[in-house]
Structure 1
């Protein structure tokens, strides 16, 4: 297995594309559809005496453009099979109904979160100006959780880990040091993957993401190969660190409501993150919403219109998250 790192100035930093070479040339993720990234991927393949035409199969961890954007043009040039979880398949395929539903869902969320008009316009302008990042439509081959694939004598197992995206999936395999996995953005070595704003289709986003973190812990991976930056040498520890981060953020949300009284999602986001720009105009309130939703489902807050009111000021936040043996 070889890693090709691609530039990414729009999202979480350098993207990782993994090359599984052998009898068949297989890629895990492909990067965003931008001219410089396209050339970096071609150069990365050339460094291993390969061209785009040699690619036989592409596994996508999820639908986000910085992971799937180049898949369509790579498929057009190579005829590669492109595999992605069934939940994300319509968006990568360019299904018009799925795209329209996603756009309607976005506008409804911005209204529900009480995003100010100026911030909404800045966000929509940013998103419209980056439409090309999605690249060409793809003829996708969907898979489901638990499916296995033989790749050059190695078995990849799809592990569905929703939260950051509805269809986000890792691909687990037996590596040199034990069980390993390509994990996309399920866990990252530096940042915590956004939950709540990164994919508005995810119901109960924080609860689903917590379940995915616990599933990663249970996998007891020796190493994880993420979608950005460098290898994670203790994936279970990293998953637990991210779980702790969300527990602390939930405490922060409770503190905001205790200090300021009933607040809408945008106001809570402003107290947590301050001023936001570009994609973070979506991700900030999305994260605040994920935590407010989690608190509401546990009866800690009640919602009246767009505002959330703290009704249990003595809440034990630890009780809202599963106890994990460390």
Structure 2
């Protein structure tokens, strides 16, 4: 079954067959519009894949959408979260309160949620300002980009590892660790139905945000992790994909290959851009010169901050491949191409 992306106002809960349902849950003020929350049937009550943004309108949509499908949020057996972002994990705590069910996520994202729980708001502001300065943002840009963080998701009751089966009686729902978008992102393979819940890892039209935070870290390489995760999903074959945004689509392997090609082309363009410049560039300068879905000056400040994170991830992959280098002992950090 394939559905095209429509505005949230045109979305409806759907019975997808085989004991699987989808409920569109709005993301207030976000151009993505909505998260597709899935419910999978079990004798002990449905298990949700993601839960949606923590907002009263989102809660009404989730609980009302389940009711329209003949399901009761109070009967939910558990919520398995594909990753910790607020449009996926935000309502998990409220579902747990209403049902007594469990929350599960990958152990790497669970560790981040614990860290966020312990992190004071003032520390977050200091961290963000220093990160932007080291990336090359000036004082005005730093003030524009900085903003509050969303509420911390609920801590999970259960932590998953790659290959674990989710507690879904009568079905086989296996966690597939697909880091990149977050360190603990998972897809969920419904093995008895040849379906893959892809979260944000593989989407039918857009590509997920892959960024580094802080921007100048050199001990991680999330884009390389993401590309390897695409290959891993591709190895599962032409499964039907049930993503968290946009629409359901067939052949996740083919789409994973397209996304990999997109990033490889982007890496080559970025390396060429640095090679054309006589002086090393900061992360912020690189981000301002890259191609986005609109001109840099037209991007909202928060989107410029995300673009810088994505630029940093691509720079880090080129650095790891030996195509560019960062200048040692320079603040803000700067990168230059290596002659090939």
- Determine if the TM-score, normalized by the shorter chain, exceeds 0.5: yes
Which shows bigger deviation, 101-110 or 222-231? 101-110
In structure 1, distance between residues paired with 2:73 and 2:46: 10
SS in 1 for 2:335: strand
Q: CA deviation at 1:115?
A: 2.1
Q: Which residue of 2 aligns with 1:19?
A: 39
Q: CA deviation at 1:223?
A: 1.0
Structure 1 pair 235–139 and aligned structure 2 pair: CA distance change class (3 A): closer
Q: CA deviation at 1:20?
A: 1.1
The one-character-per-residue Cα deviations of 1:249-308 (angstroms, maximum 9, x if unpaired) are 112212221233321111111011323215422220111111111111222212112111
Once the two structures are superposed, the pairs formed by residues 1-326 of structure 1 within 5 Å of their partners are 1-8=20-27, 9-10=29-30, 12-23=32-43, 24-92=45-113, 96-97=117-118, 106-125=128-147, 128=148, 131-132=150-151, 134=152, 137-176=154-193, 179-197=194-212, 203-261=220-278, 262-272=280-290, 273=292, 274-275=296-297, 276-304=299-327, 305=330, 306-312=333-339, 314=340
In structure 2, distance between residues paired with 1:12 and 1:199: 25
Q: Is this contact kept in 1: 2:131–2:214, CA < 8 A? A: no
Q: Is this contact kept in 1: 2:105–2:156, CA < 8 A? A: no
In structure 2, distance between residues paired with 1:244 and 1:88: 27
Which residues of structure 1 form unaligned runs of 5+? 315-326
- TM-score by length of structure 1 reads 0.86
Q: Is this contact kept in 2: 1:161–1:169, CA < 8 A? A: yes
Q: Is this contact kept in 2: 1:181–1:221, CA < 8 A? A: no
Give the length in aligned residue pairs: 306
Structure 1 pair 197–203 and aligned structure 2 pair: CA distance change class (3 A): closer
RMSD: 2.4
Which shows bigger deviation, 50-59 or 253-262? 253-262
The one-character-per-residue Cα deviations of 1:75-99 (angstroms, maximum 9, x if unpaired) are 1221110000001113445753367
Q: CA deviation at 1:54?
A: 1.4
In structure 2, distance between residues paired with 1:88 and 1:160: 11
- TM-score by length of structure 2 reads 0.82
In structure 1, distance between residues paired with 2:273 and 2:239: 38
The one-character-per-residue Cα deviations of 1:203-255 (angstroms, maximum 9, x if unpaired) are 11111111101101111142111111211212111111111111111122122
Structure 1 pair 205–152 and aligned structure 2 pair: CA distance change class (3 A): same
Structure 1 pair 217–69 and aligned structure 2 pair: CA distance change class (3 A): same
Structure 1 pair 15–155 and aligned structure 2 pair: CA distance change class (3 A): same
The one-character-per-residue Cα deviations of 1:122-168 (angstroms, maximum 9, x if unpaired) are 2222xx1x624x45x33431111111135241111111000000100
Which residues of structure 2 form unaligned runs of 5+? 1-19
In structure 2, distance between residues paired with 1:175 and 1:198: 38
The one-character-per-residue Cα deviations of 1:83-120 (angstroms, maximum 9, x if unpaired) are 00001113445753367887776455323321232232
